[in-house]
């Protein structure tokens, strides 16, 4: 019996050690990316694998652009659409989480997360799109790491440069080129609202931009943009 207990404790210590190493690995990347731009993300790697299943020579469309070279309209549109309290919270929207919890309890499973831009960034950089309580827990830890080391400007800059905007399309510059044949710096308010409306389900919206659902979402975002506050 004693030998069995010792084996269990040893296994638990090994597991704990591996978890600690994983967290330190993530935190090292977070610190590095404070002033170095990530060349890829977990979501981008998954996206590349997906499109290469159909075409082994396929490549992602992605080009990093600095914060000042992204239209103020797109910054406002994204904040208006995804996280209106972005400048005022420390990574978590408590009211949004409470609403999401109620939805999850009602459905009996994890269907909503109440995620902020910071949480979405954490997920995109390191995790997967799987909906589970374990993933949400890891997402929360990474969000705390990011919020404690990055400025809001840096968070929004990285977010705008790595999120998906269609099949194999990542970042504001690639999206602007794909849908409007211009740089992210030149987006108008209407074009910015149109891009922001795609973020929750970009691959679906890529082929369904004529749908009523999409047009209603664009109109809602456009109406909210004037009130959105973004980092300078």
pLDDT of residue 179: 98
- Domain residue limits at 134: 37-227
The answer to the question of residue 186 being in a domain is yes
pLDDT digits (tens, 9 = 90+) for 66-112: 999 999 999 999 999 999 999 999 999 888 777 766 666 666 655 55
What is the average pLDDT across 140-147? Answer: 97
The reply to whether 109 and 173 lie within a common domain is: yes
Residues 99 and 28 in one domain: no
Residues 4 and 85 in one domain: no
**Same domain (yes/no): 19, 65:** no
User: Within a domain: residue 69?
Assistant: yes
Residues 71 and 185 in one domain: yes
Least confident segment among 13-27, 43-57, 206-220: 13-27
Mean pLDDT of the chain, nearest integer = 92
What does the DSSP assignment read for 88-117?
TSSS--HHHHHHHHHHHHHHTS-------H
Q: What is the pLDDT of residue 129?
A: 87
Number of domains in the chain: 2
Q: Are residues 3 and 52 in the same domain?
A: no
11-20, 100-109, 218-227: which range is least confident on average?
A: 100-109
Domain assignment present for 61: yes
82 belongs to a structural domain:
yes
What is the pLDDT confidence band of residue 15, given thresholds at 50, 70 and 90? confident
Q: Answer for the pair 119, 125: CB distance below 8 angstroms, yes or no.
A: no
Q: What confidence category does residue 225 fall into, taking pLDDT thresholds of 50, 70 and 90?
A: very high
Cα–Cα distance measured from residue 222 to residue 220, given in angstroms and rounded to the nearest whole number: 5
Q: Residue 158: in which H helix or E strand, if any?
A: helix 152-162
What CA–CA distance (Å, rounded) separates 53 from 137?
Answer: 31
How far is it, in rounded angstroms, from Cα 80 to Cα 228?
5
In this structure, the answer to whether residues 109 and 153 fall within a common structural domain is: yes
Write phi, then psi, for 70 (nearest 5 degrees): -115, 130
CATH of residue 216's domain is: 1.10.3810.10
pLDDT at 5 over 80: no
In a domain, 25, yes or no: yes
Query: What pTM value is reported for the model?
Result: 0.90
- CA 54, 57, 61 angle in degrees (round to 5)? 90
Q: Is 11 helix (H, G, I), strand (E, B) or coil?
A: helix
Domain contains 232: no
Give pLDDT, residue 116.
97
Cβ contacts of 40 within 8 Å, gap of 6 or more: none
Range scoring the smallest mean pLDDT among 13-22, 59-68, 75-84, 140-149: 13-22
What pLDDT is attached to residue 16? Answer: 87
């Amino acid at each position: 019996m004693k030998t069995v207990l010792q084996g269990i404790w040893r296994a638990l210590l090994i597991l704990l050690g591996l978890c600690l190493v994983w967290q330190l690995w993530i935190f090292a990347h977070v610190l590095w990316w404070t002033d170095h731009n990530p060349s890829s993300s977990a979501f981008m790697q998954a996206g590349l694998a997906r499109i290469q299943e159909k075409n082994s020579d396929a490549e992602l469309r992605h080009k990093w652009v600095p914060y000042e070279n992204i239209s103020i309209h797109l910054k406002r549109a994204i904040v208006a659409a995804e996280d209106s309290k972005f400048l005022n919270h420390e990574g978590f929207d408590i009211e949004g989480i409470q609403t999401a919890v109620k939805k999850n309890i009602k459905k009996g499973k994890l269907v909503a997360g109440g995620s902020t831009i910071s949480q979405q960034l954490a997920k995109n950089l390191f995790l997967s799109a799987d909906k589970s309580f374990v993933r949400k827990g890891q997402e929360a830890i990474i969000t705390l790491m990011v919020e404690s080391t990055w400025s809001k400007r840096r968070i929004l800059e990285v977010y705008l440069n790595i999120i998906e905007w269609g099949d194999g399309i990542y970042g504001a510059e690639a999206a602007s080129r794909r849908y409007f044949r211009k740089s992210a710096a030149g987006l108008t308010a209407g074009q910015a609202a149109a891009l922001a409306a795609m973020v929750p389900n970009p691959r679906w919206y890529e082929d369904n931009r004529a749908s009523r659902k999409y047009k209603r979402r664009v109109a809602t975002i456009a109406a909210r943009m004037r009130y959105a506050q973004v980092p300078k």
